[in-house]
Structure 1
Amino acid sequence: MQCANCGNHIDPAKGECGCGTPLPQPTGAEVPGQRPAQPISVPPHNVQPARGQRLFARPPGYPTFVSWLVTGAFRNRRGALGAFIAAWFNLPLAVLLGGLGILYGAIAGYLGGFTSGNVVGPDFLTEVPLLGSVLSGDLLQVGGLLGLLVGVLLGCLAGFFGGLFVPWSLVTTEPGYAAGYFVAQTIVALLLSLLYTGYGIATEGWRFRAAGYREPSRRERELLQPILVDCATRLQLDEYPKLLIDDSHSQHAVSGTRHVVISRGLLDEFDYAPEPIAAVLCHELTHWRNADPVSSLFVRGLGLPLYLIYAFGTWLRQSFRHPILALVVTLSTWPLLLTVRYFVMPMQAAGNRAAEYLADQGAIWAGHHLGLRQVLSRSRDGFDGARNGWEAAVCANHPPNELRLERAEAPGVDYPLPDRDSPARPLPVVVSSSLIP
């Protein structure tokens, strides 16, 4: 029997490991919140799904496609609301005008305060909406530095709220028409998101193949398919997604709506050991069962204009690593980048973290507590993959692995630092002298 703390063999006669860890409870004993550990059952080679089993079906527990879609749509309500507001209520435009307002307000506020109201400079500063009225008043006649601070604040507020409401005022000034326009825009956003979610589910196989994911080889199938079947059985899943392989060297796994992907880098990192592989697959199967991939598609569809521009800009910076191009892209898209990073992603963070903790608990409940801790200790940056800049930003909002390890601690077991599964730290090399011939 293996110790969950140090990994050494435990003699059942002693009752505890040499490190002081007590003997694990025997199979069948119930631990609150954790399923008893069970050995991985490996069926014969060339295992195939049972006849009639649908690998591409939705997870069990959803009687209809609509129920699956609705569950995913409301899985992360705050994240969906953030994407909807950012994409359909002029938030990037408000950020742009707020930034310009800061610049104009700083210049005008400093000049206006320094000259006691006699602004020296271009006349266009006094023609900026809301800013001109500020410059003509007595508020900025308080000295250059204080005038600059007041100008920055007022310019930022004027530009930001102007960017939010001026486009609406250009459409209509009647409250009734404005309410109707708001309802129509909301309906369009929801329909677009539903269409995008349906498109993402229907074309997932094609998109994954375009991303470089492939069918497992005979040897990979003989090793991994039994583990996947065993994980689905432990999680009480009558059906499970199709397994694909990513040949990249990065250590990650991806759960889609109809597929689960595991990378060669992760398999190589753990030398194809069944326990950590099973923990990762249980984690991804829990995501699949909880409709988390559907939720990601729905939120992305609500913010589709932002997503397309953000993903394209990230692709440009990563594909053409030139400082001038990177500068041009950043200057062209900085309002969008700020909107996504400091509004959309924080709105999604709570839901994403809750989904990750729950997926970890799925692996623990299936009996792969030790494998999960091995993977989290070794992969300090997480093992959930990302195919573009948007998904990388989403993964950045996942909880830190140290907190996930804390949630994965077994009752009554001590977990000292450094963790035994952590990667080895390189020894520092100090050059004390050199030989000069």
Structure 2
Amino acid sequence: MLRNARGVFAAFVAAWLYVPAALAAAALLAFTTGGAAYVYSGVQGERTLPQELRDVPLLGDAMENLLLRSSGVQAALIGVILGALIGFLIGMIWVFLGPFQDGALDGIATVLGAIVLGLIVGLLYTIYRVVFERRILAITGARRLSRREAAYLLPLVVDAAARLGLRNHPPLLIDDGRDANAFAYTRHIVINQGLLDEFNYEREPIAAVLTHELVHWRNGDPISAAFVRGVALPLYLVQAGGGWLRERARNSVLRFLVWLAFWPVFVTVRYFVVPMQAADSRRAEYRADEGAILAGHRDGMRRVLARFRRSFEGGRNGWVAAVCASHPPNELRLEALEEPGIDYPLPDDDAPALPLPVLLTGTD
């Protein structure tokens, strides 16, 4: 659970130190101070600058001319920058101002209590995901294999586990979704019907994907991911809900309104939490690809990665989609899968077919 220490740290800071609230405060104060500075500079003109700055040789004259020529834009820009910095700092420390006013020990105890609470929530969430995983997957659409699916898929899983030197393998479930996805969870592997259809039930690419997911399962990557989500539980719930709403918004106006309501959380996850998790996420993907190679599925893994522009492990909600976006680019994963001494020119034989050009004639 603590393998991805940077991811856990980022999740804790973002969720329990209220980074989205600090971003919202920064935006609000930046807008307010920027607008006030623009209006004030327009009314006051050269008197906008304090007398002490205007008396500075050369610098005072230069700043006065700049304010007059920019028609208040310069003052507004300064107001926006200062407002954003002050608002963010206020948002970050506001929650701890009360305890620290009562004494340093009370403030430190509050911070330590938040750390302990975040770790306990992460632990409890991880236990919950492990214990109730089968029921959770059933609610989200995963089902048991049919007789024909079991006859086709189980031998592939058993063979992949044997090639990897594993004594057992997790249960395999099917999701009837048409997206070409596959996921490793703490106690199960779920493969989408869309992935089977994408390759028309060819054994080699499907076996490569199953081997890839088995490596994720064996290395505990789903446990690590679950603990990070648990530590960031308040943020995770809001991000997942907001992402779900944005994906189902039917027009651009609704999508904008969803973004406007959730933007501090979206920005925090996309530009702070995900980059801090990216290194561990990329290592896990390269490791799982390497496992497929060691199991003898180099060609199958290359076929899968060449078929998709992005990772085939697409997200079910906003949080998972954001984290999956930190996977290495498929082209770099293909490069890592190259066998020495073999030329791999572009385009790949297994790449998606390009649309045929339409030839226009001169007739009306």
Give the alignment's TM-score, normalised by structure 2. 0.90
1:391 counterpart letter in structure 2: V
Q: Superposition RMSD on alpha carbons, in Å? A: 2.1
Measure how far apart 1:81 and its partner are: 0.8
| 2:199 aligned with 1:266 | no
Select 2:179's aligned residue among 247, 250, 257. Answer: 250
Per the alignment, in what secondary structure is the counterpart of residue 172 of structure 1? helix
Q: Does 1:98 align with 2:26?
A: yes
Aligned-partner Cα distance in 2 for 1:382–1:90: 31
CA distance in 2, matches of 1:117, 1:162: 31
| Matching of residues 30-69 of structure 1 within 5 Å | none
Tell me the equivalent position of 2:79: 151
**Matched position secondary structure for 2:142:** coil
The alpha-carbon deviation at position 353 of structure 1 amounts to 0.9
Q: Distance in 2 between matches of 1:112 and 1:313?
A: 38
Residue 95 to residue 425, structure 1, CA distance change in 2 (3 Å): same
The answer (yes or no) to whether the contact 2:145–2:172 under 8 Å persists in 1 is yes
SS at match of 1:262: strand
Give 3-state SS (helix, strand or coil) of 1:386's partner.
coil
Cα gap change, 1:332 to 1:93, in 2 (>3 Å) = same
1:82 aligns to what?
Answer: 10
Match of 1:369 among 286, 298, 309: 298
Shift of 1:231: 0.3
* Rounded Cα–Cα distance in structure 1 between residues aligned with 2:338 and 2:315: 27
Report the counterpart of residue 314 of structure 1 in structure 2. Answer: 243
Tell me the number of residue pairs that the alignment of Structure 1 and Structure 2 aligns.
Answer: 349
- Please give the secondary structure, in 2, of the residue aligned with 1:424: coil
In the alignment, which of 324, 327, 330 is matched to residue 398 of structure 1?
327
Q: Quick check: 1:388 aligned with 2:317?
A: yes
Q: Which residue of 2 aligns with 1:293?
A: 222
CA contact (8 A) 1:356 1:398 kept: yes
Give the Cα–Cα distance (whole angstroms) in 2 for the partners of residues 242 and 346 of structure 1: 32
Identity of aligned residues (%): 48
What does 1:413-424 align with in structure 2 at a 5 Å threshold? 413-424=342-353
Distance 1:397 1:116 in 2: 49
2:114 maps to a residue whose letter is Q
One-letter amino acid matched to 1:147: A
- Asked whether the 8 Å contact 1:243–1:259 carries over to 2, the reply is yes
Aligned partner letter, 1:364: I
Q: Give the Cα separation in 2 of the matches to 1:264 and 1:431.
A: 39
Structure 1 or 2: more helix by fraction: 2
Among 344, 355, 358, the residue aligned to 2:273: 344
- The equivalent of 1:234 in structure 2 is 163
Gaps of 5+ in 2: 55-59
In 2: Cα distance, 1:289 partner to 1:136 partner: 69
Change (3 A) 1:135 1:396: farther
Shift of the alpha carbon at 1:323?
4.6
Contact 1:108/1:135, CA 8 A, preserved across alignment: no
Distance 1:98-1:217 versus aligned 2 partners, 3 A rule: same
Q: Check whether the contact 2:2–2:224 (CA below 8 A) recurs between aligned residues.
A: yes
Letter of the 1:155 counterpart:
G
Counterparts of 1:426-437 in structure 2, within 5 Å, are: 426-435=355-364
Tell whether the 8 Å contact from 1:109 to 1:151 is kept in structure 2 after alignment. yes
Q: Distance in 2 between matches of 1:333 and 1:135?
A: 39
Shift of 1:136: 11
Separation in structure 2 between the aligned mates of residue 78 and residue 265 of structure 1, nearest angstrom:
34
Shift in Å at residue 327 of structure 1?
3.4
* TM value normalised by structure 1: 0.76
Q: Which amino acid aligns with 2:92?
A: L
Letter in 2 for 1:237: L
C-alpha distance in structure 1 between counterparts of 2:50 and 2:10, whole Å: 35
217, 221, 233: which one aligns with 2:146 = 217
Q: In 2, are the aligned partners of 1:283 and 1:359 still within 8 Å (CA)? A: yes
* Aligned pairs (5 A) from 1:171-190: 171-173=99-101, 174-190=103-119
Per the alignment, do residues 246 and 136 of structure 1 end up closer, same or farther by CA in structure 2, a change over 3 Å counting? farther
CA distance in 1, matches of 2:47, 2:99: 37
Higher RCO structure (Cα 8 Å, ≥6 apart): 1
From the superposition, tell whether residues 409 and 331 of structure 1 become closer, same or farther in structure 2 (CA, over 3 Å).
same
Q: Distance in 1 between matches of 2:89 and 2:46?
A: 25
| 1:264 CA drift (Å) | 1.5
Alpha-carbon deviations, 1:324-348, whole Å to 9, x = none?
Answer: 5433322222111111111111111
Report Cα offsets for 1:385-426 as digits up to 9, x if no partner: 422111011111111100000000111111111111112211
Provide Cα deviations, 1:251-283, integer angstroms capped at 9, x if missing partner. 111101111111121112212111111110110
After TM superposition, the runs of 4+ consecutive aligned structure 1 residues lying more than 6 A away are: 134-137
**Contact 2:96-2:110 at 8 Å conserved across structures:** no
**In structure 1, distance between residues paired with 2:143 and 2:51:** 67
